[in-house]
Amino acid sequence: MIDWLDDFLFRSILAGLMMVSIAAPMGCLMVWQRLAFLSDTLGHAAVLGVGIGLLLEVNPMFGVLTVVILIVFSLSQVANFNNALSETTLAIISHTGLAGGLILLGVLPSNSVSLEAILFGDLLATTHSDLLMILVTTLILLVLLIRHWRPFVALSVSREIAQAEGISVRKEQFLMYMMIALLVAVLMKVMGVLLIAAMLVIPTTSARLLSQNPEQMVLFSAAFGVLSLAGGITSSFQFDWQTGPSIVLSATAFLVITLLITRQISLWTRRRSG
Amino acid sequence: MTPELLLRASNISYSNGGKNILDKVSFDLYRSQITTIIGPNGAGKSTLTSIVNGLIENYTGTLERSHTLKIGYLPQKVYVNTLMPLSVQRLMQLTQRVKDTEVDEALAQTSVAYLKHRQVQSLSEGELKRVLLARTTLGDPDLIVLDEPTAGVDVTGEIKMYGLIGEFRNRLQCAVLLVSHDLHLVMSKTDQVLCLNKHLCCSGLPESVSKHPEYLALFGDQATDAIAVYAHRHDHVHDVSGHQETCQHD
């Protein structure tokens, strides 16, 4: 294997960059369709997946994937998908999964997994096999996104127009939920279950302030994601903070800065035109 | 020469939550014809267009349409999503890739070329309607479905809009399915009228529909203004609220 892949910092930066490149477009779609809460739910329920994985002595990742895909699949089988995604339903699934997972982790031998890593992620502990898994998932998601981008955006704007004009809304929506499940399973490794939604929502919100088009918003989200990653890893090293939370805080810092700058600019232009 | 049949609806019925919304509605749509659905509120007009569009699938009856039938759709109400940045230019390419020159031409038809680079959130209701109407003509559609295209547009705008819809039909050689409240304007521009009140009260050429007792019962005073009289046997009666009182089909 290539030498620099043996450097843990390089591996984690690479993992972070891949994560950002996929979190940007997926995060935008989820924000547009108000699905951020779904990623939270899947993230929390994924703890159950980790527990099951450890119980069956397989890679926890498989446990997580199984659980999140099962949840998305059962939600999609309910006659009206959107009604099924009510806050109450999601909250019940979310916390039942989390509680079940916590109990399983408590019962299992304590040295098998660090609860802290599950909750907050551990970017700096990215192994070779993690890296490979993130790479494969990112590639799958990117290919699907490129192929389905127009329908995904169209149904975010208007399900009615999309369906009438030949897009199979139900199929596209199902595919998107499956992709969210896959995304959550990967992001969990890096960001931890509590912070997944943050990576999907905060850089996208900053990007919204600067963009004129859906595609632009994705590019700006990726840029803000990279900045947050850099800021997070740096401060994590500098102050010995946990990496996941540091990335989130740095994303919020960039959001506040962007907010202040765009507000100031709009004040100036208004003053000039008024 | 008979025009090409694009869509045939036979005995379409639909109920939702035990409530009967459509009852055995049948009609045909032909290329280059404008068909207008009129009827009171709650008559099932939007439901019928949703069935034609494929938005509602659990209806009974049959809908024959080619799989390659290309539709351009203007919904009654579009909720603008402020979470997504969206320029008019990008909105025009929502469901298909379109050349920039075609976008310009389409927007020019409804006199909104100047809105091309504006954000959709910043448009007024009338402006958005015009943009969305222009959008339906892109990509050479076989059928344009317009659900109350003139809601939120002033009267002179309305007249122009109906004129435009006629032009679209002539230029694109497409069928137009229109839902409307405005009887007068609609009557003069339409090839076929479907007078709907859960069931199909009457249908046909505007002149014949406008004489139909059921049509007169539904629209009362408004209807007497519109076009001439034509006697037509009726099979049931409506009360003031539009409810069907008796029905003796034979």
Read off the pLDDT of residues A87-140 as tens digits, 9 standing for 90 and up.
Answer: 788 888 889 999 998 898 888 876 667 778 888 877 888 888 888 888 999 999
A155 vs B contacts (CB less than 8 Å): none
CB pairs < 8 Å spanning A and B: 76
Task: Compute the mean pLDDT over every residue in chain A, rounded to the nearest whole number.
Answer: 88
Flag if A212 and B71 touch (Cβ within 8 Å): no
Looking at domain B5-175+186-204, its CATH superfamily turns out to be P-loop containing nucleotide triphosphate hydrolases (3.40.50.300)
Question: What is the mean pLDDT of the segment spanning B173-186?
Answer: 82
Of A32, A150, A151, the CB nearest to B84: A32
User: Is pTM, for the whole model, over 0.90?
Assistant: no
Going by C-alpha positions, the residue among B114, B117, B151, B110 that lies closest to residue B132 is B110
Indicate the pLDDT class of residue A62, thresholds 50, 70 and 90. Answer: confident
Strands in B71-74's sheet, in edge-to-edge order, are: B71-74, B143-147, B175-179, B34-38, B192-197, B199-204
State which of B76-80, B134-138, B167-171 shows the largest mean pLDDT: B134-138
How high is the pLDDT of residue A110?
Answer: 63
How many percent of chain B have pLDDT more than 70? 85
Flag if A161 and B94 touch (Cβ within 8 Å): yes
Of A160, A208, A215, the CB nearest to B55: A160
A160 vs B contacts (CB less than 8 Å): 50, 53, 55, 73, 75
Q: Which of A165-169, B141-145, B155-159, B163-167 has the lowest mean pLDDT?
A: B155-159
Interface test with A, best of B66, B70, B83 (most A CBs within 10 A): B83
Q: Measure the CA dihedral A138/A141/A142/A145, to 10°.
A: -160
Q: Report yes or no: B174 at the A interface, CB cutoff 8 Å.
A: no
A33 vs A194, higher pLDDT: A33
pLDDT over 80 at A168, yes or no: yes
How high is the pLDDT of residue B250?
Answer: 38
Which CATH architecture best describes the domain A3-198?
A: Orthogonal Bundle (1.10)
Say yes or no: ipTM exceeds 0.90: no
Residue of B nearest to A164 (CA): B53
How high is the pLDDT of residue A150?
Answer: 96
Q: Which of A196-200, B14-18, B165-169, B239-243 has the lowest mean pLDDT?
A: B239-243
User: Which residues have CB under 8 Å from A81's CB, separation 6+?
Assistant: A75, A170, A173
Residue B8 to residues A270, B26, B81, B141: CA-CA distances in angstroms?
A: 55, 8, 35, 17
B83 vs A contacts (CB less than 8 Å): 31-32, 34, 208
State which of A39-43, A58-62, A248-252, B63-67 shows the largest mean pLDDT: A248-252
Q: Rounded to whole angstroms, how far apart are CA atoms B53 and A162?
A: 10
Q: Rounded to whole angstroms, how far apart are CA atoms A161 and B245?
A: 37
pLDDT over 50 at A202, yes or no: yes
Of B50, B83, B95, the CB nearest to A165: B95
Q: Report yes or no: A273 at the B interface, CB cutoff 8 Å.
A: no
Indicate the pLDDT class of residue A35, thresholds 50, 70 and 90. Answer: confident
Of B53, B79, B96, the CB nearest to A164: B53
Flag if B75 and A214 touch (Cβ within 8 Å): no
Q: Which of A220-224, B166-170, B243-247 has the lowest mean pLDDT?
A: B243-247
Q: Give the residue extent of every domain in chain A.
A: 3-198
Residue of B nearest to A153 (CA): B94
Q: Which of A109-113, A150-154, B100-104, B245-249 has the lowest mean pLDDT?
A: B245-249
Q: Which two tokens stand for residue B81?
A: 């999503």
How high is the pLDDT of residue B246?
Answer: 43
How high is the pLDDT of residue B218?
Answer: 74
Question: What is the mean pLDDT of the segment spanning B45-60?
Answer: 90
How high is the pLDDT of residue A25?
Answer: 97
How high is the pLDDT of residue A126?
Answer: 82
**Model pLDDT for residues B191-230, shown as the tens digit of each residue:** 888 888 888 877 777 777 777 777 777 776 555 555 433 3
How high is the pLDDT of residue B247?
Answer: 41
Question: What is the mean pLDDT of the segment spanning B112-122?
Answer: 95
Q: Report yes or no: A216 at the B interface, CB cutoff 8 Å.
A: yes
Question: What is the mean pLDDT of the segment spanning A38-45?
Answer: 88
Question: What is the mean pLDDT of the segment spanning B86-115?
Answer: 94
Q: With left for phi above 0 and alpha for psi between -120 and 50, is residue B70 left, alpha or beta? A: beta
Long-range contacts of B101-108 (CB under 8 A, 24+ apart): B102/B138, B103/B138, B106/B134, B106/B135, B106/B137, B106/B138, B107/B131, B107/B134
Q: Report yes or no: B67 at the A interface, CB cutoff 8 Å.
A: no
Q: Which of A138-152, B67-81, B150-164 has the lowest mean pLDDT?
A: B150-164
User: Which residues have CB under 8 Å from A266's CB, separation 6+?
Assistant: none
pLDDT over 80 at B88, yes or no: yes
Q: Which of A137-151, B81-95, B149-163 has the lowest mean pLDDT?
A: B149-163
How high is the pLDDT of residue A273?
Answer: 75
How high is the pLDDT of residue B93?
Answer: 95
Nearest chain A CA: its distance from B205 CA (Å)? 27
Cβ A212 vs Cβ A38: under 8 Å: no
Question: What is the mean pLDDT of the segment spanning B88-117?
Answer: 94
Nearest chain A CA: its distance from B71 CA (Å)? 5
pLDDT over 60 at B232, yes or no: no
How high is the pLDDT of residue A138?
Answer: 94
pLDDT over 90 at B156, yes or no: no
Cβ B124 vs Cβ B82: under 8 Å: no
Q: Report yes or no: A158 at the B interface, CB cutoff 8 Å.
A: yes
Indicate the pLDDT class of residue B242, thresholds 50, 70 and 90. Answer: very low
How high is the pLDDT of residue B245?
Answer: 42
Nearest chain A CA: its distance from B219 CA (Å)? 30
Nearest chain B CA: its distance from A212 CA (Å)? 5
Flag if A214 and B54 touch (Cβ within 8 Å): no
Q: Which of A22-26, A151-155, A248-252, B208-212 has the lowest mean pLDDT?
A: B208-212
Residue of A nearest to B88 (CA): A213
